[in-house]
């Protein structure tokens, strides 16, 4: 990797992330469970070599100028996590610790690499927690593919060249069609959404609990992901739509009493959307953040699950058809501009009052084949998505072939660890029951 003195501008979402970090670190994570015990020296060498070749070295962030660049990283550490309790509990504890640990303002490698060995199952878990301002899930998966193939003595044919770590401006990358989307129409939609979420219920923040988060993990039995996908296709919906609807049902049940005695009767769930779909060639090998979003409003959250699925699906189809998520950067631009003026306090209580979202969902799907030779050694893949101050909780679903893993990250101020764990258990149980029955329940 040659040192570059060129800078790239933060896009609007990255700029908002930088402001969110004033209140609390905004980190994301992945967990890849691999066959066999870990060869720590070989893995550390693979990380060092792959990152150097990809161009992902030391992140130099200039918050004042709202730009960044990369310098060469002489050494990238790999932490070995001691197994002090069950592998699941150790993993959850480590993820919670890493997600809540901020990255320095000084130049730093934007990824924490760690490994957890599990002799009982003859496997190991490679954990990556990264400075979300620097990368999205797809960026990290592109880098992870390079690391794992080097570790296993192979190279993927698509990974022979460095990643583009200083990507083009997002407005140029997503193409002229989306740049020309009516800004007036987008602004009107943003205003309508802002008015709509005033009637949305959000868990009340308890300031004394702090701004921290906690992580919870769950898995569906092997094979059920395929059954869910088949069921969803037969109903003309996506697995993500189903998870949104089931989460809405669980949140509606948990908040029924509070909503019944207040004016906030609706629920709203935010969803992250990769913008690589609208620029598959321009962004295919870029390392950065290319995310939009949309908000799904549940105006009848207490309806039966099929009705909730219909509410979700109708909105999903409208968003995808018009590709309005490509213009969602406008909302981030407005937030960033207001932040520069000092009119926003980026903590949960401000968002609870002003920008009310009940939760969020992030969904990724991958295959072992996509990883090339290294895919033969991958057992499971999990994604950890942060809620930031804008949402009380986020559920991330990650499907690898026929295995579906769930991760819930919740704000301490909104939900206790016990409440969040119960919520995720209910979500897993609902999805298990739906897949096992092969049909959507009628009540």
- Assign 3-class secondary structure to 128-156: EEEECCCCCHHHHHHHHHHHHHHHCCCCC
The whole-number average pLDDT for the span 167-196 is 65
The whole-number average pLDDT for the span 282-287 is 90
Structure tokens at 159: 């990974």
Structure tokens at 337: 């501009």
pLDDT of residue 2: 43
Residue 3 in this model has a pLDDT that exceeds 50: no
Structure tokens at 90: 């150790």
> Tens of pLDDT along 307-334?
999 999 999 888 887 676 666 677 787 7
Mean pLDDT, all residues of the chain: 90
- Give CA 97 to chain center in angstroms: 17
pLDDT of residue 350: 84
Residue 276 in this model has a pLDDT that exceeds 80: yes
Angstrom distance (rounded) from CA 388 to CA 393: 9
Under 8 Å between Cβ of 104 and 13 = no
List of residues 6+ apart from 150 with CB closer than 8 A: 45, 46, 49, 50
> Tens of pLDDT along 66-86?
999 999 999 999 999 998 889
- C-alpha distances out from residue 10 to 1, 2, 333, Å: 22, 22, 11
Angstrom distance (rounded) from CA 131 to CA 411: 18
Structure tokens at 272: 């992250």
Instruction: Report which secondary-structure segment, H or E, holds 310.
Output: helix 305-322
Q: How many helices (H) and strands (E) does the chain have?
A: 13, 14
List of residues 6+ apart from 407 with CB closer than 8 A: 215, 216, 217, 218, 382, 383, 384, 385, 395, 396, 398
Would you tell me how many other CB atoms lie within 10 Å of the CB of residue 262? 10
Under 8 Å between Cβ of 181 and 375 = no
Residue 175 in this model has a pLDDT that exceeds 80: no
Angstrom distance (rounded) from CA 54 to CA 2: 11
State percent of the chain over pLDDT 70: 92
Residue 142 in this model has a pLDDT that exceeds 80: yes
pTM of the model: 0.93
The whole-number average pLDDT for the span 409-438 is 94
Angstrom distance (rounded) from CA 55 to CA 231: 42
Which of the residue ranges 91-105, 176-190, 268-282, 342-356 would you say has the lowest mean pLDDT?
A: 176-190
> Tens of pLDDT along 360-414?
999 999 999 999 999 999 999 999 999 999 999 999 999 999 999 999 999 999 9
Residue 428 in this model has a pLDDT that exceeds 70: yes
Structural domains in the chain plus CATH codes = 8-159 (3.30.559.10), 170-437 (3.30.559.30)
State percent of the chain over pLDDT 90: 67
Under 8 Å between Cβ of 101 and 25 = yes
28, 1, 105: which is closest to 60 by C-alpha? 105
SS3 assignment, position 117 = strand
Instruction: Report which secondary-structure segment, H or E, holds 339.
Output: helix 329-340
Residue 176 in this model has a pLDDT that exceeds 60: no
pLDDT of residue 412: 95
């Amino acid at each position: 990797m040659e040192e570059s003195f060129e800078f790239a501008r933060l896009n609007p979402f990255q700029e908002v992330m930088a402001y969110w970090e004033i209140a609390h670190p905004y980190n994301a994570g992945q967990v890849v469970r691999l066959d066999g015990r870990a060869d720590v020296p070989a893995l550390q060498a693979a990380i060092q070599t792959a990152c150097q070749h990809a161009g992902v070295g030391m992140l130099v962030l200039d918050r004042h100028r709202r730009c960044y660049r990369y310098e060469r990283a002489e050494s990238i550490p790999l932490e070995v996590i001691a197994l002090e309790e069950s592998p699941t509990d150790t993993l959850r504890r480590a993820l919670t610790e890493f997600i809540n640990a901020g990255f320095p303002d000084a130049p730093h490698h934007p990824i924490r690499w760690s490994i957890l060995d599990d002799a009982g199952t003859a496997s190991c878990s490679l954990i990556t927690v990264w400075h979300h301002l620097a990368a999205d899930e797809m960026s990290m998966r592109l880098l992870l593919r390079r690391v794992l193939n080097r570790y296993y003595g192979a190279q993927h044919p698509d990974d022979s060249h460095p990643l583009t770590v200083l990507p083009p401006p997002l407005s140029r990358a997503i193409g002229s069609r989306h740049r020309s989307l009516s800004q007036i129409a987008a602004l009107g939609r943003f205003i309508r959404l802002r008015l709509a979420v005033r009637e949305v219920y959000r868990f009340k923040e308890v300031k004394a609990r702090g701004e921290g988060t906690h992580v919870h993990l769950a898995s569906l039995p092997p094979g059920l992901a395929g059954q869910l996908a088949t069921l969803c296709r037969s109903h003309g919906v996506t697995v993500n739509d189903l998870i949104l609807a089931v989460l809405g049902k669980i949140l509606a049940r948990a908040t029924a009493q509070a909503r019944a005695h207040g004016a906030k009767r609706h629920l709203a769930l935010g969803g992250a959307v990769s913008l690589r779909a609208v620029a598959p060639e321009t962004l295919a090998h870029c390392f950065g953040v290319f995310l939009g979003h949309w908000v799904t409003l549940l105006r009848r959250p207490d309806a039966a699950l099929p009705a909730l699925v219909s509410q979700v699906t109708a909105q999903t189809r409208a968003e995808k058809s018009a590709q309005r998520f490509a213009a969602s950067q406008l909302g981030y631009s407005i937030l960033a501009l207001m932040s520069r003026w000092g009119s926003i306090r980026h903590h949960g209580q401000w968002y609870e009052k002003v920008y009310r979202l009940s939760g969020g969902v992030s969904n990724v799907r991958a295959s072992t084949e996509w990883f090339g030779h290294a895919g033969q050694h991958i057992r499971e893949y999990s994604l950890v998505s942060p809620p930031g101050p804008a949402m009380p909780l986020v559920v991330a679903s990650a499907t690898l072939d026929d295995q579906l893993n769930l991760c819930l990250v919740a704000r301490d101020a909104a939900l206790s660890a016990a409440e969040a764990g119960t919520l995720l258990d209910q979500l897993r149980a609902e999805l298990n029951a739906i897949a096992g029955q092969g049909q959507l329940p009628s009540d």
